[in-house]
Structure 1
Amino acid sequence: MNIKNIVNRNLANLTNCESEPIHIPGSIQPHGFMLGVNSRTYLIDFCSENSFEYTGIIPQMILGKTLADIFSVQEAADFKEYSAAEQIDSAKPFVFNIHDTYYNTTVHKSNETLILEFEPFPDGTVNLPNLYNQTRTFVSIMEKITYLPELCREIANETRAITGYDRVMIYKFDPDYNGEVIAESKREDLDSFAGQKYPHSDIPVQARELYIRNPLRMIADIKYTPVPILTIDDASEKTNKSLDLSLSILRSVSPIHVEYLKNMGVGATLTISLLQNQKLWGLIACHHYSPKILPHYTRLSALLQGHFLTSQIAVREVAEEFEVSQKVDKSLVELLSKLHENENFVEEYHNDNSLLKLANATGAAIFLNNKLYKNGITPPDEPLISLFYFLADNFKTQGLVTHCLSDHYPEGSSISQQAAGILYHALSGGSDGIIWMRREKVETNNWAGNPDKAMLANEDGLRLSPRKSFELWMQVVKDQSDPWRKSEVNVASGFSYALQKHINYRVIQTQEDANRVLNEELKTANQELANLNWISTHDLKEPLRKIQIFASKVLDREDPDLSAQVKDSVERMRSAAEKMQNLIEDILAYSKAGNMEKVFEEIDLNIVLKNVLHELQDNVEERHVTVHAQELPVLKAIPFQIHQLFLNLISNAIKFTDPDTAPEIDIKVNVVDGSAINEIISPLQKFHSISFGDNGIGFEKEYETRIFDVFQRLHPANKYPGTGIGLAICKKIAENHKGLITARSKPGMGSTFTLFLPIIR
C-alpha cells in the first residue's frame, strides 16, 4: 500500500498572501489526532501521521479499514448512529476509549468525509462547566452595566477567570477591518495592549472568512510541529486529494500567523468570533505565554461568553444610539416649533443653539439667496461660500455626510479646524444649502508596530514575514472629526426637509402677495375696459346712427347746388360710419363670447346647422351654395355661441370663394383621442372632431395660427369686406367649451377648419 501526505506546501509570497489556502493545510496540531471517514462506506480515507502515538496502530493499518477494525464493534456501531443524525451536535462530542484513555471526539462533515478529531482527557472526567453560575454571573453584569465598553471589560475578566489565559482582549474591527483592543484583562506583570490598533493585514480576508465559519480557534503550542495528514496514494486519481478543515479545531495554522505570534512572544492562543448580522464585529483574543491546552468543555464555556457578549452588542449599541437620538430629537422639536411660528426663521433663529445640538455640531451655516447665515465655529465667509458652491455642483441631489471633508473637497484641509467633518443638504435653488460642521479632532492612534510594515520580505524576496517589532507606533491623524451618528444624520435630514418646505412656503406667500396686488390692479383695469366697452358699443352707436341718417338724407335730396364731389364725400362718410358700426358690433360679439354667463344645454348640432343655413338663405341662394353634412352629434354646449360659431365658419366659406365659383361646403364628423390633436392632451380624453371644408381661395400655411388673432385680415377689405374678428370669436367659443379649433389650407385649394369639442360622459 502506497501512502502519501496531503500537506499544502505552497508558500505565502508577495503575490498570494491574501489568498493563502489556510483552510486546506493538509496538517494538524499534535495535541490530538484525526481520522477522515467516508460518510457512505465508513472506510477510513485519511489519518494523521501521529495516529500511532495515540492508538498504537500504524497509519498503514488504519487507512482503508473500518472503525470497527480500530475500535470496539460496539463503539463503531454507536458512532455510526451518532454521526447519522441530521445535525451532529458539536457541543457534545462522541467519546472513544483507546487503551483506557478517553477521547473527546468532535465530528463534522467536509464534503463526503466525516472528520473525527480526537482529544484525550486521560482521567476520564468530563468537567462540565457550571452553566447556571456562569449565566447568573452574566445576567448580574448585564443588569448593572449600561455601556458596551464596560460590558466588554467585564466579559474579558470573566473569560480570563474561566480559561486561565494570561491575557484576554476584546478586539473590535472598524469598517476597514483594522482592529482595536477596546477591553483587556491580564496578568499584572504584563504590559497593557488596551487602546492599541492593529492593521487589517494582521488578519487577512480568508482568515476573517474562517472566523465567520468557525467561531472558536485554539493554538495549544505556538512552537508545535505540524502533523501531516496521510491518505492512500491511488495512481488512478488525476487530482491531488485535500481536506477542507475550515471547521476543524485541530487544523494547522498558517506559517505566517505562527511566526507573527512568535514575534509577539505568545505561547498559546484561543480566539472566539464576535458576529453581528453574519459579519465579523470583533474577536475575544486570549493569549498565554507558555503552551496551554484548553479542554473541550472549558472551550465551550469561553465560547458561551462570546455568545453572551454578541447578544448584547446590538442591544447596547442601539441603547447608546437611542440616548443620542432622544437628545437630538428634542432639539429638532424645538427648532420645528420655531420654524412653524416664525416666517423669518432663517434671519432670526439661524444663530439658535438648538441648530447645533440638532446634530451635535460645533458649527452650522445656511446659504440662502446669496446670503450667508452662520452659527457657532465656522470658516471665514469666502472659503465657506466656495464650499457651498462646490457642494451644490457635486452633491446637490444626494447630499454629503463625511467626517473627513478633505477626502471629497480639495480645499478641505485649509478649513479643517472649523469643518473637518460636514453634514450637507441642498435647499431650493442655485447654491442654497445648509451645512452642519464638526471641528478637527486630532487623534493619536497607538498602533502595535508600524502598520505600513505589517509584512516584510525576507532577504530572498520570495517569502513574506510578519513584522518583528510590536513597539508602540504612534500615528497622528488630522483633518478628521468624530463620525456622524445615524440619529444625527436622520434628524438633520428631517430638519433640512422642513426648512425647504418653510422656504418654499415663504416664496409662495410672497408670490401670493404679489398676485393679490396684481389681481386688484387687474380688477381696476377690467372695470375700466368694461366702461370703455360700454362706451364703444353703446354711446358710440347713437352718433354713428345719426351720421348715417343725415348722410342718407343728403344723398337722397336732388339738390342741384350739390356737386358730384360733395356727394362722393358724403357717400364715403356714410360708408365709413357703416364700417365702424360693423366693427363695434363685432367687438361687442367678441366681448360677449368671453364674458357672458356660460349656460350649457343639450343641443342637436343638426338643428343648429339648419337654423344657420336658414339665416343665410338669401346668400346661399344668390351664390348657389352646396352644403354636404354628415350626421352631427348631440352634445352639451352654449346654444347661442355654437350658433355664432357655425354662422361665422359657413359665412367665411361663402365669402372667401371666388365670385365665379359656386361655394361647396363639406361638413364631416369623427371621434378622436386627445393625443391625435397634440401631444399635450391626454390620450384618454375623447373629442368630437367637426371639420368644415370649402373650395375657397385658401391662404398660406404661415397664417394657419395667426388667422385666429383679433383684427387679423389676409385679404383687402374692398374685395372681401369684414373686420377680422370673426375667427377670433370662433376660437374664443371653442375655448369656452374646453375645446379648440384649427385651420389647414393651401392658396387656391380651399380651407378646412376643424372644431374639437370634448366628449363629456
Structure 2
Amino acid sequence: MNIKNIVNRDLVNLTNCESEPIHIPGSIQPHGFMLGVNSQNYLIDFCSENCAEYIGIPPQMILGKTLTDIFPAQESDGFKEYAAAERIDSAKPFVFSKDDISYNTTVHKSNETLILELEPFPDGTVNLPNLYNQTRTFVSIMEKTSYLPELCQEIANETRAITGYDRVMIYKFDPGYNGEVIAESKRQDLNSFAGQKYPHTDIPVQARELYIRNPLRMIADINYTPVPILTLDDASGKTNKSLDLSLSILRSVSPIHIEYLKNMGVGATLTISLLQNQKLWGLIACHHYSPKILPHYTRLSALLHGHFLTSQIAVREVAEEFEVSQKVDKSLADLLSKLHENENFVEEYYRDESLLKLANATGAAIFLNNKLYKNGITPADGPLISLFHFLADNFKTQGLVTHALSHHYPEGRTISQQAAGIVYHALSGNSDGIIWMRQEKVETINWAGNPDKAVLPNEEGLRLSPRKSFELWMQVVKDEGAPWRKSEINAASGFSYALQKHINYRVIQTQEDANRALNEELKTANQELANLNWISTHDLKEPLRKIQIFASKVLDREDPDLSAQVKDSVGRMRLAAEKMQNLIEDILAYSKAGNMEKVFEEIDLNIILKNVLRELQDNIEERHVTIHAQELPTLRVIPFQIHQLFLNLISNAIKFTDPDTAPDIDIKVNIVDGSAINEIISPLQKFYGISFKDNGIGFDAEYETRIFDVFQRLHPAHKYPGTGIGLAICKKIAENHKGLITARSESGNGSTFTLFLPVSLS
C-alpha cells in the first residue's frame, strides 16, 4: 500500500493569488478530522493525516476500509440512511462515536465523494429554549429599528453576545468590492474599526465566490499547522486526485489570507456571508485575538443572525428608497400638474422649487432654443452652455447619470462646486436639454492602511505579501457629489419625458397655426387652378377649334389666288393648333389622374387588356403587331385609370418601334417581395409585377428614371409625335394604386416597363 497526500503545493503569492485554487488546498485545519467516502460502495478513499490523534487509528488502517471497520455497525448503517436522503441537512449533523467520544459530523457531497468532517463537541444537543429566545430577540430588533444601519448594529451586538468573539463587524461592499465597516461591537479596550474601508484586494475574486457558495467560514487558530489529506496511489503509481472543499468547514485557508490575518494581529475568525440576489452584499466578520473554537450549534446560531439580516437588507433598503420616493413623487406630481396646465411652463415655472425636489438636486438648468433657464445653485452661463453642448454631442440618445461628472467631462472639475454630479436628458433641439445638479461633497475616507500599498514586497524581496500596516490612512475625495437614488433618477426621467411632450405639443401647435394659414392659401390657389382648368377646357380649346376649322376651309378651297407659300403657312398653323389641343388634353388627363375621385373596383385585368387591344385594333393590324400575354390577376383598381395606363404602354411600344420592324410585345406577371423592388419597401409586402417588354428602339439607361417626368421626350417630335406626358400619367396612376412603375432599356434593344401593384390594397 502506497499512501500519498494531495496537498496543493503550487507556489502562491500576491502576483497570482487571483487564480489561487483555494477550493482544493488538499489539507484541513486540525480542530477536527476528515474522511472521504465513495458514495457508491462506502469505501474510504481519503482521510486526514490526524485521524490517529482523534480515534486512535492510523491512515493506513483507514484508507480502503469501510465505515463499519472504523465505527460501530449501528452507526455506520444509520449513516448510510442519513446520507441517502434527498437533501443532507447540514444544520443537523450526524453523530459518530469512538471510545466514548462523540463527533458532530457535517456531510456534503463533492462529485462522487461524501466528505465527512468530524469534530468532537461539547454541545451535543440543540438548546430549544435558547433558539426561542434568539427568535424573540430577532422580532424585538426588527420592531425597534427602522433603518438598516441601526439593524446592523443590533445584529453585531447580538452576534458577539452569542459567540463571545472579541470583535464583530458588519462589513458592506461597494460596487467595486471595496468593503466598509458599517457596524461594530467590540471589547472596550480595542481600537474601533467602524467606518474604515478595506480595498477589494483584501478579498480576491475566488474568495468572494466561495463566500457565496459556503455562507459560514471559521478559522479556529491562525497559527495552526495544516493537516494533509491522504489517499492511496492508483495502479499506475500516479496520484492526481483532488477534493473540492468549497463547502467544507475544516478546509485549510490560503497562506496569503493567514499572513494577512497575522499582520492584523488576529488569532481566530468567523465569517458569515450576507447575500442579495445571489451576489455578495457584505459579511459578518468576527475576530478573536487568541485561538477560539466555536461549537457547531453556536455557529448555527450565528449563521441564523446572518440569515435574519440578509432577509431584512432588501426590506430596509426598499423602505428607505420608498421614503425618498414618496417625497420625490409628490414633487413630480406637483410639477407635472403645473406643466399640463401652463402652455408657457418653461418660461414661468423654471424656478419652481419642485424642480429641484423631484431629484433632491441643489441646482437645475433647462437649455431651450439657445436660451438658458436656471434654478438653484448652478455654474455660470458660459461653462453651463458648454456642458450642454458636450452632453448633446456625446449623450443625446442615452442621457447621463453620474455622481462624478469629471470622469466623463474633464472640464467638469472647474464647475464641481455647483455640478459635481448630474442627471442629464436631451430635449428635441440640437443642444436642448435639462440637467439636475448636485454640489461637490468633499468626503474623507478612512482606509485601514494605504490602499495603494495593499501589497508589498516581503523582507527577502522574493515575492509580494499582504500589507503589515493597518493604521488609519485618510483619503480626501473631491469632485464628486452624493450618488443619485433610483427613485430620483426615475422621477427626473419621467419629468424629462413629460417636458419633451410639452415642448413637442407647443411646436405642433405653432405648426398647426402656420398650417392653418397655409391651408387658406392653398384653398385660394386650388380655386385659381380650378379656374385655369376651366379655361383650359373651354376658353382655350374653343379658339383652337376655330383656328383648325378656318385653316381647313382655307386649304380646302384651293383658291388659285393663294400662293404655295401661304398654303404652307396655313397648313403649319393648323398642325400647330392640333398639337396644342393634344397638349391641353394630355395636361388635363394628367391633372385628372391625380385629382379625380378614386373609386376602386374588384376587376379582372384581362378584361381591361382586351378592351385596350380592341381600341388599338386598327394600329395593331396596320403595324402587324404580335402580343403575347400571360393570365393577369383580378385586383381592386380604378378601372379607367388602369385602362389608360395599359393603353399608354402598349401604344408607346407600337409607336417607338422601327417602321421596318413588326412590333412584338410580351406581357408577363409574377409576384415579388417589396424588398426586391427597392430597399425602402418592406419585404413582408407582396406585389404583382406586370411587365411590358417590346422590341422597339429603346433608350439609353441614364433616362430610366427621367423618362417618367412631365414633358420628358427622348426622340424628335417630327419622327415620333407626342406631348411627353403619357409616361408621367402612367407614374401618377401607379402611385394612385400605392404601387410604382419602372423602366429598363438599352438603346436599339427594346424596353421593359414593369408595373408593380400591391397584392392586397389596404
Q: Report the TM-score, using the length of structure 1 for normalisation.
A: 0.86
Q: Give the structure 2 partner of residue 178 of structure 1.
A: 178
Pair 1:453–1:708, CA change in 2 (3 A): closer
Three-state SS of the structure 2 residue aligned to 1:492 is helix
Pair 1:517–1:667, CA change in 2 (3 A): farther
User: Quick one: which amino acid aligns to residue 387 of structure 1?
Assistant: L
Rounded Cα–Cα distance in structure 1 between residues aligned with 2:556 and 2:79: 139
Q: Give the structure 1 partner of residue 162 of structure 2.
A: 162
User: Quick one: which amino acid aligns to residue 384 of structure 2?
Assistant: L
Q: What CA deviation, in whole Å up to 9, does each residue of 1:216-241 have, x standing for no partner?
A: 22233334444444556778531255
Pair 1:480–1:597, CA change in 2 (3 A): closer
Q: Give the structure 2 partner of residue 479 of structure 1.
A: 479
Q: Give the structure 2 partner of residue 143 of structure 1.
A: 143
Query: After the TM superposition, which residues 215-294 of structure 1 pair with which residues of structure 2 at under 5 Å, given as runs?
Result: 215-230=215-230, 236-239=236-239, 242-294=242-294
Three-state SS of the structure 2 residue aligned to 1:130 is helix
Does the Cα contact within 8 Å between 1:103 and 1:118 map onto a contact in 2?
A: yes
Q: Give the structure 2 partner of residue 103 of structure 1.
A: 103
Rounded Cα–Cα distance in structure 1 between residues aligned with 2:3 and 2:66: 17
Q: What CA deviation, in whole Å up to 9, does each residue of 1:315-373 have, x standing for no partner?
A: 11122222222222333333333333344444443333323222222223333444443
Pair 1:544–1:150, CA change in 2 (3 A): same
Q: Does 1:377 align with 2:381?
A: no
Q: Does 1:461 align with 2:468?
A: no
Pair 1:128–1:743, CA change in 2 (3 A): closer
Rounded Cα–Cα distance in structure 1 between residues aligned with 2:584 and 2:729: 14
Following superposition, the deviation at residue 519 of structure 1 comes to 2.4
User: Quick one: which amino acid aligns to residue 492 of structure 2?
Assistant: A
Q: Give the structure 1 partner of residue 327 of structure 2.
A: 327
Rounded Cα–Cα distance in structure 1 between residues aligned with 2:47 and 2:734: 97
Q: Give the structure 1 partner of residue 298 of structure 2.
A: 298
Rounded Cα–Cα distance in structure 1 between residues aligned with 2:262 and 2:88: 35
Q: Give the structure 1 partner of residue 214 of structure 2.
A: 214
Q: Give the structure 2 partner of residue 93 of structure 1.
A: 93
Query: After the TM superposition, which residues 710-721 of structure 1 pair with which residues of structure 2 at under 5 Å, given as runs?
Result: 710-714=710-714
Q: Give the structure 1 partner of residue 406 of structure 2.
A: 406
User: Quick one: which amino acid aligns to residue 252 of structure 1?
Assistant: S
User: Quick one: which amino acid aligns to residue 490 of structure 2?
Assistant: N
Pair 1:569–1:274, CA change in 2 (3 A): closer
User: Quick one: which amino acid aligns to residue 220 of structure 1?
Assistant: A
Query: After the TM superposition, which residues 344-743 of structure 1 pair with which residues of structure 2 at under 5 Å, given as runs?
Result: 344-428=344-428, 430-544=430-544, 576-577=576-577, 579-600=579-600, 626=625, 628=627, 630=629, 641=641, 661=660, 664=663, 666=665, 668=667, 670-673=669-672, 675=674, 680=680, 684-687=685-688, 689=690, 691=692, 693=694, 700-714=700-714, 722-740=722-740
Rounded Cα–Cα distance in structure 2 between residues aligned with 1:118 and 1:662: 108
User: Quick one: which amino acid aligns to residue 673 of structure 1?
Assistant: V
Rounded Cα–Cα distance in structure 1 between residues aligned with 2:170 and 2:623: 108
Rounded Cα–Cα distance in structure 2 between residues aligned with 1:40 and 1:575: 111
Does the Cα contact within 8 Å between 1:625 and 1:662 map onto a contact in 2?
A: no
User: Quick one: which amino acid aligns to residue 397 of structure 1?
Assistant: T
Following superposition, the deviation at residue 301 of structure 1 comes to 1.1
User: Quick one: which amino acid aligns to residue 389 of structure 2?
Assistant: Y
Q: What CA deviation, in whole Å up to 9, does each residue of 1:396-422 have, x standing for no partner?
A: 333332222222233232322222222
Q: Which moved more, 1:156-165 or 1:434-443?
A: 434-443
Q: Does 1:202 align with 2:202?
A: yes
Does the Cα contact within 8 Å between 2:425 and 2:493 map onto a contact in 1?
A: yes
User: Quick one: which amino acid aligns to residue 287 of structure 1?
Assistant: H
Q: For structure 2, which runs of at least 5 residues remain unmatched after alignment?
A: none
Rounded Cα–Cα distance in structure 1 between residues aligned with 2:404 and 2:14: 32
Pair 1:661–1:144, CA change in 2 (3 A): same
Rounded Cα–Cα distance in structure 2 between residues aligned with 1:81 and 1:411: 70
Name the % identity.
85
Rounded Cα–Cα distance in structure 2 between residues aligned with 1:484 and 1:586: 70
Q: CA RMSD in A?
A: 3.9
Q: Which moved more, 1:561-570 or 1:396-405?
A: 561-570
Rounded Cα–Cα distance in structure 2 between residues aligned with 1:562 and 1:108: 127
Q: What CA deviation, in whole Å up to 9, does each residue of 1:626-659 have, x standing for no partner?
A: 564648867665565556556656666666667x
Q: For structure 1, which runs of at least 5 residues remain unmatched after alignment?
A: none
Q: What CA deviation, in whole Å up to 9, does each residue of 1:196-231 have, x standing for no partner?
A: 111222222333233223222223333444444455
Three-state SS of the structure 1 residue aligned to 2:12 is coil
Q: What CA deviation, in whole Å up to 9, does each residue of 1:529-562 have, x standing for no partner?
A: 2223323432344545555566666667798887
Rounded Cα–Cα distance in structure 2 between residues aligned with 1:494 and 1:111: 52
Rounded Cα–Cα distance in structure 1 between residues aligned with 2:564 and 2:109: 129
Pair 1:11–1:649, CA change in 2 (3 A): closer
Rounded Cα–Cα distance in structure 1 between residues aligned with 2:306 and 2:141: 14
Structure (1 or 2) with the larger CA radius of gyration? 1
Does the Cα contact within 8 Å between 1:13 and 1:462 map onto a contact in 2?
A: no
User: Quick one: which amino acid aligns to residue 315 of structure 1?
Assistant: V
Following superposition, the deviation at residue 298 of structure 1 comes to 1.5
Three-state SS of the structure 2 residue aligned to 1:359 is coil
Pair 1:521–1:252, CA change in 2 (3 A): same
Does the Cα contact within 8 Å between 1:33 and 1:50 map onto a contact in 2?
A: yes
Does the Cα contact within 8 Å between 2:365 and 2:435 map onto a contact in 1?
A: yes
Does the Cα contact within 8 Å between 1:14 and 1:462 map onto a contact in 2?
A: no
Q: Give the structure 2 partner of residue 337 of structure 1.
A: 337
Rounded Cα–Cα distance in structure 2 between residues aligned with 1:32 and 1:751: 96
Three-state SS of the structure 1 residue aligned to 2:107 is strand
Rounded Cα–Cα distance in structure 1 between residues aligned with 2:636 and 2:330: 60
User: Quick one: which amino acid aligns to residue 670 of structure 1?
Assistant: V
Rounded Cα–Cα distance in structure 1 between residues aligned with 2:580 and 2:54: 128
Does the Cα contact within 8 Å between 2:742 and 2:755 map onto a contact in 1?
A: yes
Following superposition, the deviation at residue 700 of structure 1 comes to 4.9
Pair 1:541–1:415, CA change in 2 (3 A): same
Rounded Cα–Cα distance in structure 2 between residues aligned with 1:235 and 1:612: 97
Q: Which moved more, 1:435-444 or 1:257-266?
A: 257-266
Rounded Cα–Cα distance in structure 1 between residues aligned with 2:651 and 2:112: 98
Does the Cα contact within 8 Å between 1:101 and 1:124 map onto a contact in 2?
A: no
Pair 1:227–1:514, CA change in 2 (3 A): same
Following superposition, the deviation at residue 183 of structure 1 comes to 0.8
Does the Cα contact within 8 Å between 1:630 and 1:668 map onto a contact in 2?
A: yes
Pair 1:692–1:524, CA change in 2 (3 A): farther
Following superposition, the deviation at residue 310 of structure 1 comes to 1.1
User: Quick one: which amino acid aligns to residue 397 of structure 2?
Assistant: T
Three-state SS of the structure 1 residue aligned to 2:422 is strand
Three-state SS of the structure 1 residue aligned to 2:410 is coil
User: Quick one: which amino acid aligns to residue 90 of structure 1?
Assistant: S
Pair 1:130–1:523, CA change in 2 (3 A): same
Three-state SS of the structure 2 residue aligned to 1:292 is coil
Rounded Cα–Cα distance in structure 2 between residues aligned with 1:685 and 1:666: 25
Does the Cα contact within 8 Å between 1:674 and 1:687 map onto a contact in 2?
A: no
Does the Cα contact within 8 Å between 1:49 and 1:59 map onto a contact in 2?
A: yes
Does the Cα contact within 8 Å between 1:606 and 1:631 map onto a contact in 2?
A: no
Rounded Cα–Cα distance in structure 1 between residues aligned with 2:746 and 2:258: 96
Rounded Cα–Cα distance in structure 1 between residues aligned with 2:45 and 2:611: 108
Does the Cα contact within 8 Å between 1:129 and 1:301 map onto a contact in 2?
A: no
Following superposition, the deviation at residue 474 of structure 1 comes to 0.9
User: Quick one: which amino acid aligns to residue 481 of structure 2?
Assistant: S
Q: What CA deviation, in whole Å up to 9, does each residue of 1:268-300 have, x standing for no partner?
A: 322222122222211112222333332222221
User: Quick one: which amino acid aligns to residue 160 of structure 1?
Assistant: R
Following superposition, the deviation at residue 18 of structure 1 comes to 2.8
